[in-house]
Amino acid sequence: MCLAVPVRVTALLPASWIEIDVSGTPGRVSSALIGPVAIGDYVIVRAGFAIARLDASEALSTLALFEEIAVHLREPLDAEQSPLDVT
């Protein structure tokens, strides 16, 4: 399974390469599949390629949901609750 997280474009590089910020970690990917992007745009990346562009509000909403999930994953399980119980 692949989980795609929105990442922000931080720099434009030659030959359709862009620099991105992945939760504070820089990276480089190709934007050749989606065309021109601008610094500050949010994109979805898969296998080293930006595959979709997101508007900022959608990207920030998605990132907030991932953070909420991460907070819950750091919480200890209630001893009475089975790890598979989703109620």
Q: Rounded to whole angstroms, how far apart are CA atoms 40 and 20?
A: 9
Q: What is the pLDDT of residues 53-80, one digit of tens each?
A: 999 999 999 889 988 988 888 877 665 5
Q: What is the pLDDT of residues 1-56, one digit of tens each?
A: 567 789 999 999 999 999 999 888 999 999 999 999 999 999 999 989 999 999 99
Number of domains in the chain: 1
Q: Is residue 14 part of a domain?
A: yes
Q: 24 is in which domain, residue-wise? A: 6-74
Q: Is residue 86 part of a domain?
A: no
Token digits of residue 78: 């209630």
Question: Please, what's the b/e burial string for 47-56 (b: 16 or more CB within 10 A of its CB; e: otherwise)?
Answer: eeebeebbee
SS3 of 87, please?
coil
Q: Is residue 87 part of a domain?
A: no
Provide the CATH number for the domain around residue 59: 2.30.30.140
Q: Where are the alpha helices (DSSP H) in the chain?
A: 56-74
